[in-house]
Amino acid sequence: MEEDHLNENESIISLKVPLSRENLREELNFFKELRVFFKDYNKPVEDIDFIISNLESKIEIFSNDNHIIPDEEKIIRQIAKHPYFKNPGDYPIRLLTILKYLKKKGFNMHYKDIDIYIDKLIQKVDGVKKVGRGLYIKSR
């Protein structure tokens, strides 16, 4: 929100929140929870969204402990073969369900932050829209 768009009853408050670089994952969860409260009280969430996107970009998707990064296209093709995506319903599918499906199909799910990686891949599947935290729906 810019100051010139404020009416006489509004002002901007600046807040400094120290960022722990040791566990960015916890920091990310904190700001996601904070965003919920801002929305509940009809406060602008653009600044928090900016912080969240920056934190997500800083989190390592995989720990580099000699792990081979799974082929993105291969995972996307396998996700598209999931029964839900073949015959979508009116209900959303959970990220956890897709992770279990991929594990059953032989993909290694023991990478650090695999959920963030798979979340981005699910959204690349044609017609899939994220409708909540860990929830996706596919248009027919």
d(CA 75, CA 89): 22
Are 44 and 38 in contact by the 8 Å Cβ rule? The answer is yes
Distance CA 99, CA 101 (A): 5
Radius of gyration of the chain (CA): 19
Which pLDDT score is estimated for 97? 94
Q: Pull the structure tokens for residue 6.
A: 């404020």
Place of tokens 């599947």: 125
Q: Is the pTM of this model over 0.85?
A: no
State how far the Cα of 45 lies from the Cα of 1, in Å rounded to an integer.
10
In one-letter notation, the amino acid at residue 1 is: M
For every one of its 140 residues, what pLDDT tens digit does the chain have, with 9 covering 90 and above?
445 567 777 787 777 877 776 677 778 888 888 989 998 998 888 888 888 888 877 765 554 454 556 678 889 999 999 999 888 888 899 999 999 999 999 888 877 778 888 888 998 888 898 998 889 998 87
